[in-house]
Amino acid sequence: MLVSFSSYSSLSLSLSPPKSPLPFLACFKTPFIFNISSHHTVQSLHKSPPSTRLWKKMASRVSLLFFACALVLIAAVSSAEEALSKEFVLTLDHTNFTDAVTKHDFIVVEFYAPWCGHCKNLAPEYEKAAAALSSHDPPIALAKVDANEEANKELATQYEIQGFPTLKILRNGGKSIQEYKGPREADGIIEYLKKQSGPASAEIKSAEDASTLIDETKIFIVGVFPKFSGQEFENYMALAEKLRSDYEFGHTTSVKFLPRGESSVTGPLVRLFKPFDELFVDSKDFDLEVLEKFVEESSIPTVTVFNNDPTYHPYVIKYFNSPETKAMLFVNFTNEVAESFKSTYREVAEQYKGQGLIFLIGDVDSSQGAFQNYCDTVSEQFFGLKEEQAPLLLVQTNDGQKYLKPTLGADDIAPWLKEYKEGKVSPYRKSEPIPETNNEPVKVVVADTLQELVFNSGKNVLLEFYAPWCGHCKKLAPILDEVALSFEKDPSVLIAKLDATANDLPSDTFDVQGYPTVFFRSASGNLVQYEGDRTKEDIIEFIEKNKDKPAVAQQQQQEELSKEEPAKDEL
């Protein structure tokens, strides 16, 4: 066969192997194959010329190369899919919890419930944080436990889980347990846990170190010691470890490194820097309990301000979390008398400093949670107040008792608080109005009818504590209606509900930490919290198991006996 290489395109078509992965190369660009000296060379092609064998060899190599590239691509895709599908959050339960915690010096555990909306929102952020922290040096482990699972409820009880999600930081194989008090989004979780996994107190070796750690926007605590040893230093480090989730700590050998205060003061001492009041305070008492009390009391302003300014919000939360008795003045900050109230109130607060009474002043417009029936983490416990009562002063004790002085003037503040301290003020109980009709299957209970309908009714009462804004409460409502209809012909059973945001509860009887919370009180007075599934069948089974069946008969018998007793006394 004779071929002119000037007609390379037609040759290309005739020699290109079928299904070749690459187009045939133009012959004029590959003269080495056919030993061509010019572009008009004519070469005789035998049946199996060297060029054909070389082509087959090249095609084989190209096929191998293509196959290798495909393998690399498949491996890359597989690796990417594996990375995407891998879960970095450890799944724990009652069978592996102890082993997992024991082998980690630092592990974070989320206790969650599958039905919890907040848990669902946290899940992707928690997973992102777990993925990032898995490469931290050393790695930080994040885990989760389904606390709603029956087999895991003992774990939830052990770790005092009151709501979902609850995150705990476990250190030293679980020997040290702390609440997670950081952000709920991935970047914040990562940053917070990096700090928490490091030393509880940072050493300050220079003024530059101090300026990096201490600023005018946050509380920072520094221990000053001549040397980092001895009982004082050990107590300080123990305090830092205990309170590390709430405060930032540092330690130094020289007060001269610190930005505020007299540089001639010598240690050992503890200096607390704060962005309010006197800016810093010192303590030289290193008793651990005294130190902790010093930190807690010093980190709350003399008067906490509750308004729209977000810089105050951490102190508002700290105020409401304090175990101290709280005095709260609510006034309209735009009112012309507001400044008079503020100055008078601060003077009174200074007088009561250190007497177990802490003070807050709230702007009526900014603290609507105190006056409306919707959830507010800071002020939900004070629902039921009316705006027309402002300016008002409210005192709440640690056991939940409230004392109210509505529509007061600035000059009334000091005299009324004096009367309160002397025990001359009667408690105030928040209650919704008693309903005019109560004919629905689930009966409405308010604070003023709690005694009558629950404690003195002689019935087996299932009582739901709910919040109007709560989605889970709304889902439970029709189920409770069905339960109530199931017991319609049983006069010994009462299904009831109480809006816990609008009514005060006896805190010594009902411990309501979240919504909905359901309690069952038998006719004989046994009280138990319902923690089963929120289904009609399970709730009915629970009532049948716990009720006193002859409840109404017992009540009638007791009434008859009480009528007979006076007659016996006359004999």
pLDDT band for position 563 (50/70/90)? low
**Mean pLDDT, the chain, as a whole number?**
83
Q: How far is CA 273 from CA 260, 261, 456, in A?
A: 8, 10, 54
Q: What is the pLDDT of residues 1-21, one digit of tens each?
A: 444 434 333 333 333 344 434
User: Is 116 annotated in the active site?
Assistant: yes
Domain ranges of the chain: 2-82, 90-197, 218-299, 300-428, 443-558
- Which of the listed CATH numbers 3.40.30.10, 3.40.50.620, 1.10.940.10, 3.30.70.60 matches domain 300-428? 3.40.30.10
| Length of the chain measured in residues | 571
Helix pair angle (338-351, 413-421), 10° resolution: 30
Catalytic residue from among 27, 69, 116, 375 = 116
User: Is 119 annotated in the active site?
Assistant: yes
User: Is 69 annotated in the active site?
Assistant: no
pLDDT of residue 28: 36
* pLDDT of 312 strictly over 70: yes
pLDDT of residue 62: 55
Q: What is the pLDDT of residues 258-307, one digit of tens each?
A: 987 666 788 799 999 999 998 899 999 999 999 999 999 899 999 999 98
User: Around Cβ 260, how many Cβ atoms within 10 Å?
Assistant: 13
Domain spanning 443-558, CATH architecture: 3-Layer(aba) Sandwich (3.40)
Nearest to 215 by CA among 158, 275, 271: 275
Q: What is the mean pLDDT of residues 192-211?
A: 94
Nearest to 200 by CA among 151, 172, 238: 238
Is 48 buried (19+), middle (13-18) or exposed (0-12) by CB count in 10 A? Answer: exposed
- Residue with the bigger pLDDT between 73 and 281: it is 281
pTM score of the predicted model: 0.60
- Residue with the bigger pLDDT between 80 and 533: it is 533
Q: What is the mean pLDDT of residues 340-358?
A: 94
- Between 119-123, 183-187, 202-206, 546-550, the lowest mean confidence (pLDDT) is in 546-550
Domain spanning 218-299, CATH architecture: 3-Layer(aba) Sandwich (3.40)
Share of the chain above pLDDT 90, in %: 61
pLDDT of residue 4: 42
Domains 90-197 and 300-428 share a fold: yes
Residues contacting residue 335 through CB under 8 Å, at least 6 positions apart: none
Domain 90-197 has CATH 3.40.50.300: no
pLDDT band for position 505 (50/70/90)? confident
- Residue with the bigger pLDDT between 34 and 128: it is 128
Instruction: State residue 418 phi and psi, 5-degree precision.
Output: -65, -45
User: Is 375 annotated in the active site?
Assistant: no
Instruction: State residue 68 phi and psi, 5-degree precision.
Output: -65, -45
459-473 b/e (C-beta count within 10 Å ≥ 16 → b): bbbbbbbbbeebebb
pLDDT of residue 378: 37
Is 183 buried (19+), middle (13-18) or exposed (0-12) by CB count in 10 A? Answer: middle
Token representation of residue 546: 């716990």
